[in-house]
Chain A
Amino acid sequence: MLNYTIRRLLFAVPTLLVISFIIFAILDLAPSDPTGNLPLTIPAEVRAQIREALGLGQPFPIRYMKWLQQFFINEPLNMMEQWWGIQIGDSANRLRVTSWATRSPVVDLIVERMPQTLWVVGMSYVLGILIALPIGVISAYKQYSIFDQIGTFISMIGFSVPTFFTGIVLIVIFSVQLGWLPSIYDTTLQVTDWPSFWKQVKQMMMPVFVLALFNAAQIARFMRSSMLDNLNQDYVRTARAKGLREQTVVLTHVLRNSLIPVVTVIALGIPQVFGGAIITEQIFRVNGLGQLLIIGIEGADIPLVQTLTFIFAVLIVLFNLVADLLYGILDPRIRYD
C-alpha cells in the first residue's frame, strides 16, 4: 500500500504540472483585461503602464515560469518562515503570488476565506452525509414503501432544483416574510458566548440547509442503489440462514458491502467542499473561497484565479488517491501490491 501511495504521488507531479500549464494557457488566452474595471478617464498609456507593472509585458513562458517559481518555491519558503519563525535567505525581496486587484498575496486571501467555506460548506457536507446514509439504507430496505416514495420524491427535488432557487425561496420565507434568519452572513461575528454562538448558528442555518439538501439527495440515492445491489446477494441469504438478527444482517453484512462505493463517492466530493459552493456563497453573501473565485474572475485577477483553480486541481488529484486507498482498505479483495 505504501509503495502504491508513493508511486501514485510521484505520478501526480507531472499530472499537476500539465494541469497548471493548461490553466495558465487558458487564462492567458481569455480576452480579459486587469485594467478593465478602472475608471474610463484613465488614458490608454497609463493603462499600458499598469499592465507593464503587473508583469504582462513579458512573454508567456517567462510569466508561467515566474508563477511556478512563486507558487512552488517562494510560497512554501514563506510558509515555513511563518510557522517556525525563522528566516530563509532574502525573504524581504522574495516575490509571492500577488493578487492584481488587491495587491495582497493570494495565499493570504485564501487563508482568510477558508474558515467560512469550511464551516458552511463543510458542515453542509457532513450534515448531508449524516442525513443521507440512514435515508438510503431505510429506503432500500423498505423499497417502494411510503418512506421510500417520500425519500425518493425529496431526493428528486433536492437534486433537480438548483441551489440558487431553493436559497432564494428560503430567504423570501425566513428572512423577508418571517424575519427569523439573517440573509447575509456576517464574517466579523466572533463566537464568544452563547448568544453569539446562537447568532452564528442562525446565520449558518439557511446556506447549510440548502447545500445539505443537495448533497444529501445525491448521496442518499447512491446509498439506496448500492444497498439494493447488495440486499439480493447470496451472502445475505446465508447470513439470514445462520439465524442472525435482521439488524445484524442489514447493518453489518449488507451495509459494510454497500458502503464501499458510497465512501468512494463521498471522498471524491470533498474537493468540492474546498471549492466552495460558488452560487450558494454568492446568494447568502458568505465570503468564502467560491466568492473569492468569482471576484477574481470578474476582475480579471489572473494570479488569483490561476492559484485557486490550481489548488482545486491538487485537491481533486489528492482525493482521487484517497478514494482509491479507501477502496483498498474497505474491500479486502483489492490489493495494491
Chain B
Amino acid sequence: MGIAALVPVWTVKNLKTVLHTQDGVVHAVNGISFELSEGELLAVVGESGSGKSVTMMSLLQLLPTPPAEIISGSVYFEGKNLLELSTADIRHFRGAKIGFIFQDPMTSLNPVFSVGFQIMEPLREHLGMSKKQARQRAVELLELVGIPSAGDRLNDFPHQFSGGMRQRVVIAIALSCDPKVLIADEPTTALDVTVQAQILELVRDLRQKLGMTIIWITHDLGVAAGIADRVMVMYGGFAVEHADVKEIFKNPRHPYTSALLETLPGHESEGAERLRSIDGQPPDLVIKPVSCPFAPRCAYAQDICRRENPKLTSIENSDADIHEIACWVDIESGSLRK
C-alpha cells in the first residue's frame, strides 16, 4: 500500500499506564508503540481488559488521575508531546485536532442539554464561532452524518434519538472542528448489527470525503477486516501483533492472533458446529508482567516464554510492509525465532 512510507502524523512510543486500585497496581498498558500516517486507519483489536481503551484514553490524558497514572512514554503529535502538556494546553487538542467517539451513545451525551447545544459547544470553544455560525455548522454536521431534517432536530434532547442516531450525533461532535485524527473507542459495540453496518458505512464514507486519520478500537475482527488499513492486536496490555490488514488475516503469526481467528465461526459451516474458544483465562493484570502474558494459554509455549517477555519485532521474509509480532516462537516451524 505504501502508506507507511508517508510522514507519521502521530507517534506513540513505549506508553505505559497503570491504574492504582484497592487490589493493587493494575498494569493496564505495558509499553505500546505505534505510528500513524496521514489518512490511515489503524484498528486496535483485543478482548475486554486488554488495554485498548486505556491506551487511547491515555493518549489525550482523558483518564482520571488517580487512579490512572501514565508512568512512561511519549505521544508526539504536531511536534508536541501530548503527555507533557498541562491540562490547560491539551484542551486545545481535544476536540479541536483530535476527535473522540465513545462506545455507548446512550450515556455519552449529556441528557439535559439539547443536541444542538452539545454540537455547538466545541465550535464556539475552539473555532470562536458566533452562535449563529455555530448553529449553521451544526446543521451541516448533522446532515453530514445522515440525520434527516437536521435543522428541526437541533433542539431535540438526546433521549429523543434512537441509539444509532445518537451515535451519529456523537460522530458529528467528534467531527465538528475538522480534526486531523479521529479516535473511535468501540463505536459500534453498543449498537445492534444493522445499525452497526450503517455506522461503518458512514465512517467509510466520511473517510473518503474528509481524509481523516483514524484509530478504531474494536473487539470485532470482522469490523477490523472491513475498514482497517492496519491492525494491532492487543493482549494483556501488550501489542502482540501488528501488520497490514490483509497480512494479519491471511497470515497470522502470533499464537494469540491465530487462535483468535480460529474461534471465528465460519459462514459455510454446518449449523450444529460448536463454537470454539481459547482455553484458560485472560491474565491478571495486577501481577507485574515479566513473562509473555499469553504463555499460560499458548499451545506453543516454551521455557523462555515463561521467563522473559518478547519484544515486538519485525518478521523476516514477510511480503507485507509491516508485520511485527511479540513472540519467541515461530508458529510455522514450532521452533524459536532467531
A contacts, CB < 8 Å to B: 233-235, 237-246, 248, 253, 256-257, 260, 330-333
Q: Are A333 and B100 in contact (CB under 8 A)?
A: no
Point out the residue from B96, B108, B109, B157 that lies within 8 Å of A243, measured CB to CB: B96
Q: Are B125 and A241 in contact (CB under 8 A)?
A: no
Asked if B111 lies at the interface with its beta carbon under 8 angstroms from chain A, I say yes
Which 8 pairs show the lowest CB-CB distances between chains A and B? A243-B95, A243-B94, A241-B100, A242-B95, A234-B107, A235-B110, A332-B157, A234-B108
Shortest distance between the CB of A328 and any CB in chain B (Å) = 12
Tell me whether A237 and B94 are in contact in the complex, defined as CB-CB below 8 angstroms, given that A242-B125, A244-B125 are known contacts: no
28 A-B pairs (CB sep. < 8 Å) = A234-B102, A234-B104, A237-B62, A237-B102, A238-B100, A238-B102, A238-B170, A239-B110, A240-B62, A241-B95, A242-B95, A242-B122, A243-B91, A243-B93, A243-B94, A243-B96, A244-B95, A245-B125, A248-B125, A253-B110, A257-B111, A257-B112, A260-B112, A330-B112, A332-B111, A332-B159, A333-B111, A333-B159
In the assembly, what is the distance between CA of A333 and CA of B157, in Å?
A: 8
Point out the residue from A238, A244, A331 that lies within 8 Å of B112, measured CB to CB: A331
In the assembly, what is the distance between CA of A246 and CA of B89, in Å?
A: 12
In the assembly, what is the distance between CA of A111 and CA of B121, in Å?
A: 50
Point out the residue from B93, B100, B111 that lies within 8 Å of A235, measured CB to CB: B111
Point out the residue from B62, B91, B111, B170 that lies within 8 Å of A244, measured CB to CB: B91
Shortest distance between the CB of A228 and any CB in chain B (Å) = 12
Nearest-neighbor residue (CB-CB) of B107 within chain A: A234
In the assembly, what is the distance between CA of A241 and CA of B170, in Å?
A: 11
- Residue among B108, B114, B159, B170 having the largest count of chain A Cβ atoms under 10 Å: B108
In the assembly, what is the distance between CA of A234 and CA of B101, in Å?
A: 11
In the assembly, what is the distance between CA of A237 and CA of B104, in Å?
A: 12
Please indicate the chain A residues that have their CB under 8 angstroms from the CB of B114 in the complex.
332
Asked if B234 lies at the interface with its beta carbon under 8 angstroms from chain A, I say no
Q: Are A243 and B102 in contact (CB under 8 A)?
A: no
Q: 9 other contacts beyond A243-B126, A332-B157, with CB at 8 A cut-off?
A: A234-B107, A241-B62, A241-B95, A242-B100, A242-B121, A244-B121, A246-B87, A248-B121, A256-B112
Nearest-neighbor residue (CB-CB) of B92 within chain A: A243
Q: Are B125 and A243 in contact (CB under 8 A)?
A: yes
Q: Are B104 and A238 in contact (CB under 8 A)?
A: no
Nearest-neighbor residue (CB-CB) of A259 within chain B: B112
- Residue among A235, A243, A256, A330 having the largest count of chain B Cβ atoms under 10 Å: A243
Please indicate the chain A residues that have their CB under 8 angstroms from the CB of B92 in the complex.
243
Please indicate the chain B residues that have their CB under 8 angstroms from the CB of A238 in the complex.
100, 102, 108-110, 170, 173
B 132-175 contacts with A by CB, 8 A: 157, 159, 170, 173
Q: Are A235 and B94 in contact (CB under 8 A)?
A: no
Please indicate the chain B residues that have their CB under 8 angstroms from the CB of A244 in the complex.
91, 95, 121-122, 125
In the assembly, what is the distance between CA of A238 and CA of B122, in Å?
A: 11
In the assembly, what is the distance between CA of A239 and CA of B80, in Å?
A: 23
In the assembly, what is the distance between CA of A242 and CA of B125, in Å?
A: 9
